[in-house]
Structure 1
Amino acid sequence: RERVGQGLQRISEQATHAAEVIRRLRAFLRKGPRRLQALDMAEVAGEAMRLCAWEAARDQVAVELRMSAQLPLVYADRVLLEQVLLNLLRNAIDANREQHGERPSRILLGAVREGDGVRVEVADQGPGVAPGRLDDIFTPFTTSKADGLGLGLSMSRSLIEGFGGSLWARAGDNGGLVLCCRLAVSRG
């Protein structure tokens, strides 16, 4: 009974979150009023990790959080930034599962100060992407997933650019893929 109650609670939280994401995406796409605010990157990252914890546990993927101490606040829409991080984490979980099957693997979610901004990175241990194709993964309807639409990374890039930032990919130092996001520091 308790497990069913917990499952229903998680479903309710996910549905509420999804509804808010849809509202914010609609406003963003219509060029409506933005809800940009000063955000603590560690809090946003923690919430994105919480939202994908079930998928990570299911696929034996440990998500390691590495945030620099005293990061400045970033300027973005909280719900949409969480959604971007959630998309990057879920893609990394999928890549790890593809590469490692049922064996345990790891994803690194980190953030550091970089000049007048903050760079956030999600590094997986998946199969990676050929160097000449790194920018292609952001093209709408381009996907390597059998059931993917190919819109997640394209939409994520658009959202980050809407906050005045940038999103790109690079090859990982030990294989895999690293998705890098640069965000502006809060003006207040």
Structure 2
Amino acid sequence: MFNTAHTSIPRPISVFESNRRPYGWQPDKYEYMDYERRRNRLLKLPHVRVAVAQGGILWRICKQELASDIPSGPSIDVHFFADMSSDAPRNYVFDTLSQEEIDTLCGVYHVLTDRGEQTTILSWWPTPHLWTTSGLDMGYWTHSNEQVFQSRLRKIREGEATLLTARKWKGDLKFYKNQTRKFIGGVDRECVALVSLL
């Protein structure tokens, strides 16, 4: 993060390929490879590497491609990709991801339905929102998370898995959601109590 004043520099476009697909579209065996190509090309942009700092599913999706190239601070392009909204921190700026960039990293597609411009949203991987509201998000990457990730990746590569809707992702990621929320809530309360003693 840099200590700096806010400026109003327009955010450059970083995603040029549309993720909209026509009605009746079905991914073929090459679609996942095409997704990986688009994801990896996007990860070459310095500011997109902030994805690994966000943890969770974005971290895991990007981990293999970035390997040891994990950012230790903002990119050299931070002034173009920082959050400049009125409620953003005023003293420091840091790289952010656009919704289009997150969609590209997660392999999101907007497929037209037979109802005009209405679309169904499908994805290879759950979005960060779906992940953080699931029963698998413990605040860190667990052995169970890795098993779920590797199982899905294997099924995709073998042609046994396809794109999922948000509803299907919620069902698949439910696991022990209530217990997980209780656990994280308890940890949060204990942390607040500990900090208040300092």
Q: Same fold (TM over 0.5)?
A: no
TM-score (norm 2): 0.29
TM-score normalised according to structure 1 size: 0.30
Larger Cα-atom Rg: 2
